Amino acid sequence: MRHPEDYVEAVLSLVEQVPPGRATTYGEIAAVVGRFGPRRVGAVMAEHGGAVPWWRVVRADGTLPPDLAARAREHHREEGTPCRASGAVDLRAARADLDPARRGK
């Protein structure tokens, strides 16, 4: 699937804004960008996200796709990201607020 270049840049820019030890979801990024949905954000991440901190973007339940989970856990441990016993990110404790309206920008 071909993604509009400005959309890819917007998604990756938001991912880069997630601080170490924090996380956001595919859906939250889609909402802030204002176009497409979480699956499209996931597709952009799969295709273009290798150079950004991809492990900071998780599913709504705090998990990552199984093929990325082990590598992500290493990053989460290094960054001190709050996680549940299952290994999923604890979004209540780790959620990064990327919405400029809520951050006062």
What would the pLDDT profile of 40-97 be if each residue is shown by its tens digit? 999 999 999 999 999 999 999 999 888 999 999 999 999 999 999 999 999 999 999 8
pTM: 0.90
- Give the pLDDT confidence of 3-56 residue by residue, as tens digits: 889 999 999 999 999 999 999 999 999 999 999 999 999 999 999 999 999 999
- Residues 15 and 54: beta-carbon distance below 8 Å: yes
Q: How many CB atoms lie within 10 A of CB 93?
A: 13
Do 30 and 41 meet the contact criterion of CB atoms below 8 Å apart? yes
pLDDT of residue 98: 87
- The Cβ of residue 81 has, within 10 Å, a number of other Cβ atoms equal to 22
In the chain, DSSP assigns E strands to 24-25, 57-58
pLDDT at 104 over 60: no
Residue 105 has pLDDT above 90, yes or no: no
Distance CA 40, CA 96 (A): 20
